Amino acid sequence: MNKIKKRIILGICIPIAIFLLAYAEYATEENVEIDKGPFHFVTGFVFYNNSLNPSKFALINITNTDRGETEFTTTDEYGFYSFNCGSFSGPGWAPGENITITAYGNSSQCWTNWTGFTIGTVPDITSSYNITMETWLNFYDVGIEGINYPSNNSTLCPSPINYTINATVVNFGNSYNHTFPVEIYIYNESDEIVYSDLKMVTLPPGETSFIEFDSWEPSDKTENYTILVTTNMSCPNHDYIPSTDSKQISVHVTKRVMNMEVNKKVWNNGWNDSINTIINTTVSFNISIKNNGTCCDLANITVFDFLPFNMGYVYNSTFINGFHAVDPIISDNILEWNSTMLGIDVLDEGNSFYIEFNATVVEWGKGVNNVTVNAKSIPLWENLTASDSPGATVNAEANIDAVEILFKDKTEIENSNISTNFSFIAYAGGYNDTYGFIGFINANWSIINYASNASINATHGKSIEFNSGWNDGTAILTAEYNGHNDTVTFNINSSLFSFILYKGWNLVTLPCENDYNAYSLYSNIDACSIILSWNSSVQDFIIYVPGSPYNFAIENGHGYFVGTNNNSIFSLADIPIQTVNITLYIGWNILGWFNSTPTTASSLLENITGCNIVLGWNTSVQDFELYAPGVPNDFVIARGDGFLIAVGEESIWHREIKVK
């Protein structure tokens, strides 16, 4: 056996020796400077315990003690090593520099450690340093000190939330640095690996290290998981004995649930669902919002409170979590608080807040105050809406002791003389003997005709449309509610012209031949407060009120602004106007349409010389309607309507015919 090994050694050494001698001859002939040469080989064999058993694949550390530099190589399958200290693929050490050669190795019994060393110098060409390793026992164990995050038995949230699991590892040895793997495995309830990662760690003796693994995103379902972190060292590593250590924890992942709870209450000796009260009282409301979700926070919260028809917000009455806050944005009795006004950027899981405010009962009736809350869920940023509907109820109701037929402005409709083909809307108003007007009520409606053919469009409801028909006669309109009723008698006459004057401003003309002046017209209009005429020549109004000296005539074809304090019906003898001769001045002019056939703003603009703007008056919104070239609002102008025109040249207006 020894002879075979010697032959192997000679078979390897002889070619190397021949190569080195040839190089030496070459270097001498070429006068190479040996101390700066490319080749200075150290070679040798490594054995176990002075035996001829070679140390296969042992680690060789070659340290230049003069320079403090260390290089590495390994033995081959025969236990032989070679290392070039020169500059050709080497560190470039100079001959004569001191070196220490240390060998580390493992026998076939991996738990036994071996080492040996020798000292020497960098050779001119080559030197052989054999090393015999001795064995000793020294624990090089590495391990897991603990899993730091997450903690054992903690509850986690699912994706897209992720977790960076970290642990502390330790080198328990006292002599050598160790490089070793740290692995993590996460198992589900079926013992399936759902996640794994590996990190390589190098630690000096006695040191610890904080290791972070790649992030883990749990699935969005409720499940228990086991997290295992382990170190694993095994042969044929050369500088430590094998070691395995592990730590494990359990965690619980909860499925994400988006849920927001909204409640609306009214104060009634405590926060309750309803209150009975009367008109002109102030009540307090409470809106509570709670994040009942799991693994879900809320952002971009906006609260919409829908006040009922009979309630009005009391300004400067908002409190959020007991602290005074800004008033909401108010539009059509909808109160809005956005996240900025609420002062809440994020509502964490399980947290809540509340809003309190006051409102006044402005009308009789049963009102339900509803609330809707919109939010964005975190981390998915999905829309979430929750409501309390029906919310808090405010009952401001009283017994109905009487019924009256009214206009919308609550003015009583009196017995009247009206024209044929005349229409208006009538309302049934309920009255209480103590509190007065309660509100519009769902009444039973009927009509009796005597020679007339008046009609109504419904027999039950808060309002109906009345039409006088085309026959002369008498019509009696009745509204009935729980045995209480009211009637209005209309004498219908085709020789009259009738129109409605609404509370506020009206722009009208008297489309019939008449002898009214400002005083007599004012006196014949119910609740009239002012009449305005327009002087086109000076481009200014003439005002009539009681005591005014300007008792101007009411002229055919002219329009007048009439201000009234309530709705009323105005009728006059229908003596048609045949034509008019009105001078139109440059600037604004106010005219009145007296023809039985309606016209349009565009027709007026086209047929009136120099006209460039037409204005009508909308009584329901108390504002002008404008028509001009390019403006699509081509409104209708009916008999009795006044209108304004702007002209750029003078002319005479008769009835929509160009005359210069």
Question: Greater confidence, 205 or 590?
Answer: 590
Closest CA to 646 of 509, 536, 520: 536
pLDDT of residue 655: 78
pLDDT surpasses 90 at 40: yes
Q: Which long-range contacts (CB under 8 A, 24 or more apart) does 246-250 make?
A: 246/144, 247/144, 247/146, 247/147, 247/167, 248/147, 249/147, 249/150, 249/151, 249/152, 249/153, 250/152, 250/153, 250/224, 250/225, 250/226
Q: pLDDT over 70 for what percent of the chain?
A: 88
Q: What is the pLDDT of residues 131-142, one digit of tens each?
A: 988 764 444 467
Q: What mean pLDDT value characterizes the chain?
A: 89
Distance between CA atoms of residues 104 and 59, nearest Å: 5
With a CB cutoff of 8 Å and minimum separation 6, the contacts of 596 are 576, 639
| Residue 656 pLDDT level (bands cut at 50, 70, 90) | low
**CATH of the domain spanning 142-253, picked from 3.90.1480.20, 3.40.50.720, 2.40.50.140, 2.60.40.10:** 2.60.40.10
**CATH of the domain spanning 263-396, picked from 2.60.40.740, 3.40.50.300, 1.10.1060.10, 3.30.420.270:** 2.60.40.740
pLDDT surpasses 70 at 68: yes
Contact 392/367 with Cβ under 8 angstroms? no
CATH architecture of structural domain 2-136: Sandwich (2.60)
Contact 107/88 with Cβ under 8 angstroms? no
Residues of the chain with CATH 2.60.40.10: 2-136, 142-253, 402-494
pTM of the shown model: 0.55
Q: What is the pLDDT of residues 426-479, one digit of tens each?
A: 999 999 999 899 889 999 999 999 999 999 999 999 999 999 999 999 999 999
Q: What is the pLDDT of residues 315-342, one digit of tens each?
A: 999 999 999 999 999 999 999 999 999 9
Q: pLDDT over 90 for what percent of the chain?
A: 76
What does the pLDDT average to over 153-165? 93
What's the topology of domain 402-494? Immunoglobulin-like (2.60.40)
pLDDT surpasses 90 at 203: no
Closest CA to 111 of 237, 265, 201: 237
Residues of the chain with CATH 2.60.40.740: 263-396
